[in-house]
């Protein structure tokens, strides 16, 4: 009983990281830009957040610093991809490689550093409920923030004019341009929003989820978040579900070990990566389905001409 | 306001000048970084670009490190030219190393010299199987090859961890996570005394020539590139895109696997958790900086090898973290992509 509440709680927590990053990438992709640099942005943001908390002791500032780091890197990516029309895949890869290298380099001095203790979080009254309390109501505010973000995105993308414009830029930048919308600036805005959210997710990892800094600590979460947008066929609510599912897969390994199931730890560590491949295979089986849901200009540069 | 204007023809001059300009930019930013951190930038230049070629031994080390980069990047050039985004070469490298290591562990004190050949072929096969997995999932289920090949890197590294911490651990190794060192029969021969340089280099250079012949002198190589540049034209010509996918991944997987085999049967001499050194990712940069052309890749592999050795020297001589190599690698690719804009576009001021 207690076990299952803890498993649910830890899955929600792990899923939140993926959800926030993937929602950010969703905004990118809805505007037609795919940013393979998620992993690099998250790594730099994780370091920026961690270093800020070490310096100031404030977790809020740490999360903000992470967002800023993500934003700056996304701005660099956006300038290259949107104004200089560089290949989106190659530029994203460059961002991931640079982010991994830079965070490893700049973070050398923080490897042994410790963060100040943080008090537990609890929603008043509800957190005292049996089972539901520990499972649902003792989380970091960001866990609930991710839920709010999904609702906000669903409303914004599908119920507002500006959301419609963003989607039209992703479906047909030429038409949006012909109608007089500033396609490039809209795309840049989307890329920046994506960077900030990836940054937030990265900083959450290093300041709360696993409060420490080691090289490469994001361990593929940025890539899994990228896979999640495809898995969710670019729908915000499905991203959240997918993220929690992946959170559960990540967490099951620890619980299996706790149950005394004797599988070598390396095979358990493989699980989230294998699960990513599995869901990609399942969702991509029907290419028609992907084609209908994918923003039509995804990955293609837009050149407004003379 | 700065704006870009499409050229009628891609600029030939800039396609050669862009990597050089990118290198110059990277060096400038690097020197600025050194100054910012209170180190002498000229000393930095010396460590990265002079020390690695100062003595014959240093040149041997430079060529030794360039070998896996060259091999992997050659395969990636075939992939990227075919518009197949294999970014999991690191995993294929590890699987090649694993397969080669597995065979090498079978060697006894009286195994013949043929053992080396078996070790290298096992490496090629291991890399091909790992890349083939990506090809199969892409071909059969349309799964995105970028994400699948990358996920398989993490899986490959865990597999290596399992073997060296578990069944393949050297019982006499004081519980270190490593296999026993391979018998001499399973190790690849060195070229000269006094250098660790081995037959990997001539093999890699021969393969560079082979890839050049394949890409520019065979119909199959031509078909790969047409499929990458103009899928519709390739369809009209009857070139199969599925075939192109399989060829691209198998060639690059095989080459990455060979690089892994040469690494463990050469300088490493055993399997450890430190086999994956990031060559698979660095080779992506090598391939792009080398213009996806075998000759260019030979040069850019040497450059990237300088970055690696320079990073190690910067650690021992200047007290920098070794990871500065990663910073420069990333900067180089960024600069290259930015400079490449000049190939297809003109930069203009004004409205």
Distance from CA of A77 to the nearest CA of B (A): 9
Tell me whether residue B178 is in a domain: yes
B133 found inside a domain: yes
Q: How many CA atoms lie within 13 A of B56 on its CB side?
A: 4
Smallest CA–CA distance from B322 into chain A, residue: A105
Asked if residue B263 is part of any domain, the answer here is yes
B182 belongs to a structural domain: yes
Look up the domain containing B93 and give its range. 68-213+242-315
Put simply, whether A268 touches B (Cβ < 8 Å) is no
Contact between A194 and A89 (Cβ < 8 Å): no
Q: Which residues of B touch A246 (CB under 8 A)?
A: none
User: Is the confidence metric ipTM above 0.90 for this complex?
Assistant: yes
Interface test mutation site (partner B, options A43, A74, A98, max chain B beta carbons within 10 A): A98
- Per CB-CB distance under 8 Å, the chain B contacts of A86 are 337-338, 340-341
* pLDDT values of chain A reduced to their tens digit, one per residue, 306 residues: 577 888 888 899 999 999 999 999 999 999 999 999 999 999 999 999 999 999 999 999 999 999 999 999 999 999 999 988 899 999 999 999 999 999 999 999 898 888 887 777 888 878 888 888 787 888 888 999 999 999 999 999 999 999 999 999 999 999 999 999 999 999 999 999 999 999 999 999 999 988 999 999 999 999 999 999 999 999 999 999 999 999 998 888 777 777 777 788 899 889 999 999 999 999 998 888 888 889 999 988 887 764
Contact criterion met (CB < 8 Å) for A280 and B162: no
Contact flag A97-B142 (C-beta cutoff 8 Å): no
Q: Phi and psi for B6 in degrees, rounded to 5?
A: -65, 130
Cβ–Cβ pairs < 8 A, chains A and B: 140
Question: How confident is the model over A101-137, as pLDDT tens digits?
Answer: 999 999 998 988 888 877 778 888 788 888 887 878 8
Contact B337 A105 (CB under 8 A): no
**Domains of chain A (ranges, CATH numbers):** 2-293 (1.10.3470)
Q: What percent of chain A has pLDDT over 70?
A: 99
Q: B50 lies in a domain?
A: no
In a domain, B265, yes or no: yes
Tell me the HSE value of A181 on the side-chain side, using a 13 A CA sphere.
23
Mind telling me how many Å the CA of B323 is from chain A's nearest CA? 5
**Total structural domains in chain B?**
1
Q: What is the pLDDT of residue B239?
A: 92
Q: Could you list the pLDDT tens digit for every one of the 351 residues in chain B? A: 667 788 888 888 888 999 999 999 999 999 999 899 888 899 989 999 999 999 999 999 999 999 999 999 999 999 999 999 999 999 999 999 999 999 999 988 888 889 999 999 999 999 999 999 999 999 999 999 999 999 999 999 999 999 999 899 998 888 889 999 999 999 999 998 888 999 999 999 999 999 999 999 999 999 999 998 888 999 999 899 999 999 999 999 999 999 999 999 999 999 999 999 999 999 999 999 999 999 999 999 999 999 999 999 999 988 888 889 999 999 999 999 999 988 888 877 765
CA atoms within a 13 Å half-sphere pointing along the CA-CB vector of A131: 3
Does residue B225 belong to any structural domain of this protein?
no
Tokens of A278: 């599995």
Q: B339 lies in a domain? A: no
DSSP string, A204-266: HIIIIIS-S--TTTTTTHHHHHHHHHHHTTT-HHHHHHHHHHHHHHHHHHHHHHHTT----HH
């Amino acid at each position: 009983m207690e076990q299952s509440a803890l498993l649910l709680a830890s899955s929600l927590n792990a899923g939140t990281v993926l959800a926030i990053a993937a929602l950010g990438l969703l905004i990118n992709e809805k505007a037609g830009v795919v940013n393979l640099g998620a992993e690099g942005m998250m790594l730099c943001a994780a370091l920026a957040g961690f270093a800020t908390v070490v310096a100031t002791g404030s977790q809020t500032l740490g999360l903000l610093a992470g967002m800023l780091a993500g934003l700056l890197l996304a701005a660099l990516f956006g300038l290259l991809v949107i104004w200089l029309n560089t290949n989106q895949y190659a530029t994203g890869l460059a961002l991931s490689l640079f982010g991994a290298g830079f965070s490893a380099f700049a973070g050398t001095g923080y490897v042994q550093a410790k963060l100040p203790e943080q008090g537990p979080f609890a929603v008043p009254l509800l957190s005292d409920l049996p089972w539901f309390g520990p499972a649902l109501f003792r989380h970091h505010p960001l866990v609930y923030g991710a839920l709010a973000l999904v609702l906000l995105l669903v409303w914004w993308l599908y119920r507002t004019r500006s959301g419609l414009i963003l989607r039209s830029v992703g479906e047909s930048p030429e038409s949006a341009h012909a109608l007089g919308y500033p396609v490039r600036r809209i795309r840049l805005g989307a890329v920046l929003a994506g960077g900030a959210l990836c940054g937030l997710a990265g900083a959450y990892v290093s300041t709360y989820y696993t409060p420490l800094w080691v090289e490469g600590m994001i361990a593929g979460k940025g890539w899994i978040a990228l896979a999640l947008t495809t898995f969710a066929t670019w729908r915000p609510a499905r991203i959240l579900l997918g993220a929690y599912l992946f959170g559960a897969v990540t967490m099951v390994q620890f619980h299996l070990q706790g149950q005394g199931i004797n599988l070598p730890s390396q095979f358990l560590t493989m699980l989230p990566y294998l699960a990513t491949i599995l869901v990609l295979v399942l969702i991509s089986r029907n290419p028609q389905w992907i084609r209908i849901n994918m923003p039509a200009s995804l990955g293609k540069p837009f050149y407004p001409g003379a | 306001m700065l704006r870009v204007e499409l050229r009628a023809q891609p600029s030939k001059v800039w396609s050669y000048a862009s990597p050089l300009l990118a290198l110059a930019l990277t060096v400038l930013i690097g020197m600025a970084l050194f100054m910012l951190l209170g180190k002498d930038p000229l000393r930095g230049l010396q460590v990265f670009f002079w020390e690695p070629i100062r003595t014959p031994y240093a040149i041997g080390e430079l060529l030794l490190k360039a070998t896996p980069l060259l091999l992997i990047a050659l395969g990636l050039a075939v992939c990227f030219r075919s518009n197949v985004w294999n970014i999991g070469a690191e995993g294929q490298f590890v699987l090649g190393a694993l397969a080669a290591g597995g065979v090498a562990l079978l060697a006894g004190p009286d195994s013949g010299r043929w053992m080396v050949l078996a070790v290298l072929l096992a490496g090629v096969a291991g890399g091909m199987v790992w890349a083939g997995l990506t090809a199969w999932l892409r071909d059969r289920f349309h799964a995105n090859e970028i994400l699948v090949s990358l996920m398989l890197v993490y899986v490959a590294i865990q597999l290596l961890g399992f073997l060296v911490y578990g069944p393949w651990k050297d019982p006499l190794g004081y519980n270190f996570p490593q296999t026993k060192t391979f018998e001499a029969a399973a190790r690849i021969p060195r070229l000269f005394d006094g250098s660790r340089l081995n037959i990997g280099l001539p093999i890699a250079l021969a393969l560079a020539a082979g890839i050049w012949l394949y890409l520019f002198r065979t119909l199959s190589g031509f078909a790969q590139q047409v499929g990458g540049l103009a899928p519709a034209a390739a369809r009209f010509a009857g070139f199969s895109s599925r075939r192109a996918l399989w060829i691209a991944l198998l060639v690059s997987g095989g080459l990455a696997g060979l690089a892994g085999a040469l690494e463990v049967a050469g300088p490493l001499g055993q399997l450890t958790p430190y086999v994956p050194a990031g060559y698979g990712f660095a080779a992506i940069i090598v391939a792009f900086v080398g213009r996806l052309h075998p000759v260019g890749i030979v040069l850019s592999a040497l450059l990237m090898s300088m970055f690696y050795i320079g990073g190690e020297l910067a650690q021992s001589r200047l007290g920098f973290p070794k990871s500065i190599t990663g910073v420069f690698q990333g900067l180089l690719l960024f600069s290259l992509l930015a400079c490449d804009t000049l190939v297809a576009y003109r930069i203009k001021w004004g409205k």
